[in-house]
Amino acid sequence: MSQRRVGRACDQCNFSRTRCDGDLPCIGARSRSDSGFQTSASPVELGVSPETSTGDQDDMLASLRLAPLHGLDGMSGQSNHVDIDSGQFQIQSPQLGLDQKSHRPDSACRYPCLKPLLPALKDIFPPATACDLLDIFFAEPGDSLCFTHSPYVLSPVLRKKWFLHPSRPRPTSPALLATMLWCVAHTANSPIFHPPGSRQRIINELYGVAISLLQRRDMDNWRRVPGGWQLEEDFTTSLDPDRLDTSRRTFSTGPTPCADDVLTFLLLTIVISGGEYKSDCIKWWNKTVALIKHLGLHKEPSLSREWQGSAEEHEERRRVFWLAYTVDRHLALSHNRPLDILDAECEVFNPLPEHLWQTFDTLNMEALELRTYGPPMTISGTGFFEYFLPMMAILGDIIDFRLRRYHPRLVSNDDASLEVIMANLTRCERSICELSDTQSLSHSPLGTSLQRSTAKMVVAYAVYIIKVLYVLVYGKWDAITMLEDDGDWITSSRFAKCSASSIAAAQAISDILRVDPELSFMPYLFGIYLFHGSFVLLLFAERMSRIGPNPSVEEACEVIIRAHEVAIVTLSTEFQKVLRKAFRSLLYNARRSELSEAELQTLRKEVLSTYRWTMGHRGLCL
């Protein structure tokens, strides 16, 4: 005979995690001879009427399973904490404390910053796994043979020592914590992800936790009304006559977003843009940009009278902004769109070098060099903002330059703009050489073997991306338009410069594969530059079927194909598979000449028409 379900277990049964029959004393207490035991809360205190039937309790239990684990998450107001286990449930006010299971010390959780999130993770994976994922989040890209970092963590932004402090960790939004774990779970090589289907299940559950926690922190989910704020979800219309009387709650205070929420939106944007459904990242990116403007992250904190904080919090805000700045330029190239964060709006100091940021707690701020507004324009080190931010600043100028050239009415001074871009590219190239020269200096910041290894990869990748930026300045961005060009571009000096840069880029790929054979240093970012740097060689491969074989072109194409194949293994992307197929088919035809010109043109369009970079098309954003 099955035991009946009760609305509230007694304290002893709840502590021992055994079933309770609800009697006073219960069956468990009677078996332990604890005749003086009683429950700590009556059904009325639990919000359950004494007349509530077992079926009604079951309905209530089902509704609680759908309730968010946290209420307003950082806002004023009370929230209910739900514990559902073995058919039992309990609700307690935060002022009275969580249930004993939530407060039970867990020796497997090495990082106290995760403690608020553990109740939401208990059915997904153990605390030790969550700690391992945080370790991966803060891991630095190093030797490609020890691929432990996440490709979607371009820069942790947050200072590891403070975030993972054993006694005084950084106060962090639970939504951001859940999103960090979700981000790393996509590629983490933990045994928990090895069973078939487990990775996708864990990713989906972490995403659900993150979105649930983020829901009431998102300003888009709120509206102002006389007397306070209301949730948009309360205005859902239902045609069911039993659900027409939906209460609309009014809160005295609305959402209080912070830099944590910007970073949460950014991580969602990055991971989704690197996945299969790339266009789904647009809504998160739009939220990122809107919140940056709302919080004033594009302005130096000292210029804002509304926000006060410590020096470390100021630097965090700067680094969150500059990460969004670099992602904006990267996505603008990937999605063939204008910039959303304009240089004219940026009044933020350039970020500190990575080695200074990680030791910020011992840093003498007065000894720092005078900082300037705007991004750095030269490469100065191996930190993400030290080598990638300058190149993205130049890429933003190139994108603006290209869009002005296509404007139907406004006439721009192309020569003056081009001169500025070329001067910045030259200075950036020179700074790469200077960084390369410091690799062997034991007294430099790049003195350790791991730092020298990282510096070699930074130099190799930076050389390649700079060559691709030259290709973007002089070349055509759309592969089909370039291959079908019937104008004078191929006979112009611009084509000659574009071709020389493309060949130099192909040679730089060989250097990259030598120092990073798995292309694991920056796989999320590298794909689009490998894609655009290959278009001119695609033109050469296509012309070989007419003018005869060219060993140098064939060798360069094989290097490109090999790089795409390695990149696909490290972080699989569909657009790289498409370009690899185009190269392989054109090389195959050049060697055998089995297709007519019409058949070759049909094949070319079939392979390359998916991703277009003409005005109005969306690049990779399908």
**pLDDT tens, 175-191?**
999 999 999 999 999 89
pLDDT in tens, 288-305: 999 999 999 999 877 665
Q: What is the pLDDT of residue 193?
A: 94
Determine the 3-state secondary structure of 230 from DSSP: strand
Look at phi and psi of residue 261 and say left if phi exceeds 0, alpha if psi is from -120 to 50, else beta. Answer: alpha
* Cβ–Cβ under 8 Å, residues 148 and 136: yes
* Cβ–Cβ under 8 Å, residues 608 and 601: no
- Residue whose entry in the numeric block shows the structure tokens 């990149």: 567
Q: What is the pLDDT of residue 497?
A: 92
Does 72 score more than 60 pLDDT? no
28: confidence class by pLDDT, cuts 50, 70, 90: low
Q: Is 78 exposed, middle or buried (0-12, 13-18, 19+ CB in 10 A)?
A: exposed
Residues 6+ positions from 611 with CB-CB distance below 8 Å:
479, 575, 578, 619, 620, 622
Range name among 393-407, 490-504, 546-560 with the lowest pLDDT average: 546-560
Range name among 32-41, 246-255, 408-417, 437-446 with the lowest pLDDT average: 32-41
Predicted structure pTM score:
0.81
Range name among 140-154, 418-432, 471-485, 575-589 with the lowest pLDDT average: 140-154
**DSSP letter at 68?**
-
Does 106 score more than 60 pLDDT? no
**DSSP letter at 231?**
E
- Domain spans of the chain? 112-202, 451-621
Cα 365 versus chain centre, distance: 30
The token pair that represents 21 in the structure block: 């029959």
The token pair that represents 507 in the structure block: 């040679």
Average pLDDT, integer, range 403-419: 82
Average pLDDT, integer, range 76-101: 32
* 54 or 468, higher pLDDT: 468
43: confidence class by pLDDT, cuts 50, 70, 90: very low
* Cβ–Cβ under 8 Å, residues 124 and 185: no
User: Phi first, then psi: what are they for 404, rounded to 5°?
Assistant: -65, -35
* Residue environment code for 479-499, b if the CB has 16+ CB neighbours within 10 A, otherwise e: bbebbeeeeeeeeeeebeebb
Cross-strand pairs, 222: 231
Range name among 85-89, 157-161, 346-350, 536-540 with the lowest pLDDT average: 85-89
Q: What is the pLDDT of residue 71?
A: 35
* Cβ–Cβ under 8 Å, residues 217 and 74: yes
Report the share of the chain in percent with pLDDT over 90.
49
Q: What is the pLDDT of residue 579?
A: 84
Q: What is the pLDDT of residue 134?
A: 95
Q: What is the pLDDT of residue 557?
A: 86
Question: Whose CA is closest to 620, among 330, 316, 381, 279?
Answer: 279
